[in-house]
């Protein structure tokens, strides 16, 4: 059985929970990290980074881990989606910190060749080529710093006046792109990987039917006790389902429309979701949870409380 390194103290709680869950699945399977690498096609080095919280595994790696360890792939991919958001927030904070440090460093360097002090009217010795090289070197260094500052600021349109750089020139042709899944759906074309729509999705697994992932959004969400409850909606599938995370064994989650209900119960994992219900608009459904301690609650259509 693998001996895990302690996770970093400053690791985002959602990332830490997900990494711990991955470790737990590996432990239950009895696989070593090397055996896991051989079975999934991802290198041992990559899995060491994933399982130590240093790198977010790709979605396909998580599905592969579920396959070889016997875990429920839907639960792990649900946790992965939440973790991806947390990871992106952490990366954004880190980028802003690094950018601010670079700006401060560049400003400090620019201050080194500010206006020279006024000198008294006294004879000045003739300037030699050797003595003139100092200011030129400083000026050269300043140009390098300004170049670095421009590189730092370019990815951040909100800083300075670099917004126009991001867009194409008037003479540039607009890049062509394939229609998105919602656009294909609007044209009456079922996107690749989507296996059902409308009533054909009722009672089925949203992940297995291709309705989850990029084909779904959180239409409403709320906190019920310490658990986060979401109503997921897929426009391409015309379906809704409920999802719960940070939950405990025995907690129940359900999705309801005016006439039908689907529900699931938490087992050994901290997250799960329900089968789907058919809808024509996200406002026709709501997600509810009943915790093992008796606390209960539901989302309201359009009312969302962000994860804290």
d(CA 85, CA 212): 15
Under CATH, to which class is 1-112+147-158 assigned?
mainly alpha
pLDDT band at 158 (very low <50, low <70, confident <90, very high): very low
Q: What is the mean pLDDT of the chain?
A: 75
For 87-114, give the DSSP string.
HHHHHHHHHHHHHHHHHHHHHHHHGGG-
Q: Which of 110-124, 156-170, 179-193, 239-253 comes out lowest in average pLDDT? A: 156-170
Q: Quick: pLDDT tens for 64-79.
A: 999 899 888 888 888 8
Q: Quick: pLDDT tens for 184-237.
A: 555 556 788 899 999 999 999 999 999 988 898 889 888 898 888 999 999 999
* pTM for this prediction: 0.46
- Find the radius of gyration of the CA atoms of the chain: 27
Of all residues in the chain, what percent carry a pLDDT higher than 70? 64
- Tell me, what's the pLDDT at 87? 84
Given strand 252-256, what is the order of strands in its sheet? 261-265, 252-256, 286-290, 296-298
49 sits in the region (left: phi over 0; alpha: psi -120 to 50; else beta) called alpha
Structure token digits, residue 76: 């792990």
Which residue ranges make up each domain of the chain? 1-112+147-158, 184-298
pLDDT band at 138 (very low <50, low <70, confident <90, very high): very low
> What separation in angstroms does the CA of 130 have from each of 133, 134, 136?
6, 8, 11
Average pLDDT score over residue span 263-281: 90
Helix (H) or strand (E) holding 45: helix 44-51
- The three-class DSSP label of residue 122 is coil
pLDDT over 50 at 110, yes or no: yes
C-alpha dihedral over 133, 138, 141, 147, to 10 degrees? -120
Those residues whose C-beta lies under 8 Å from the C-beta of residue 184, and which sit 6 or more positions away, are 190, 191, 236
- Tell me, what's the pLDDT at 243? 92
- Tell me, what's the pLDDT at 88? 78
Of all residues in the chain, what percent carry a pLDDT higher than 90? 30
pLDDT over 50 at 294, yes or no: yes
- Spell out a b/e string for 153-192, using b for 16 or more CB atoms within 10 Å of the CB, else e: beeeeeeeeeeeeeeeeeeeeeeeeeeebeebbeeeeebe
pLDDT over 70 at 289, yes or no: yes
């Amino acid at each position: 059985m693998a001996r895990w390194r302690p996770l970093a103290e400053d690791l985002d709680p959602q990332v830490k929970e997900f990494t711990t869950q991955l470790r737990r699945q590996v432990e239950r399977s009895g696989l070593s990290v090397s055996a896991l690498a051989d079975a999934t096609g991802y290198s041992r080095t990559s899995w060491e980074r994933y399982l130590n919280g240093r790198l977010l595994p790709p979605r396909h790696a998580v599905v592969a881990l579920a396959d070889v360890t016997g875990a429920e792939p839907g639960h792990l991919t649900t946790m992965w989606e939440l973790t991806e958001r947390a990871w992106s927030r952490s990366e954004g904070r880190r980028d802003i910190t690094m950018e601010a440090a670079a700006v401060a460093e560049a400003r400090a360097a620019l201050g080194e060749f500010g206006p020279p002090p006024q000198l008294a009217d006294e004879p000045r010795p003739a300037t030699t080529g050797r003595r003139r090289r100092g200011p030129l070197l400083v000026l050269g260094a300043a140009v390098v710093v300004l170049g670095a500052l421009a590189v730092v600021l370019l990815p951040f349109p909100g800083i300075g006046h670099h917004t126009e750089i991001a867009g194409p020139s008037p003479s540039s042709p607009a890049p062509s792109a394939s229609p998105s899944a919602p656009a294909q759906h609007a044209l009456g074309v079922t996107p690749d990987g989507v296996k059902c729509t409308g009533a054909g999705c009722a009672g089925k697994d949203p992940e297995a039917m291709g309705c989850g992932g990029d084909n779904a959004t959180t239409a409403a969400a709320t906190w019920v006790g310490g658990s986060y409850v979401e109503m997921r909606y897929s426009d391409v599938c015309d379906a809704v389902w409920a999802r719960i995370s940070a939950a405990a064994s025995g907690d129940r989650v359900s999705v309801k429309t005016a006439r039908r209900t689907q529900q699931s119960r938490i087992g050994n994992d901290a997250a799960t979701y329900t089968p789907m219900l058919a809808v024509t608009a996200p406002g026709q459904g709501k997600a509810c949870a009943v915790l093992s301690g008796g606390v209960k609650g539901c989302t309201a259509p359009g009312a969302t409380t962000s994860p804290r």
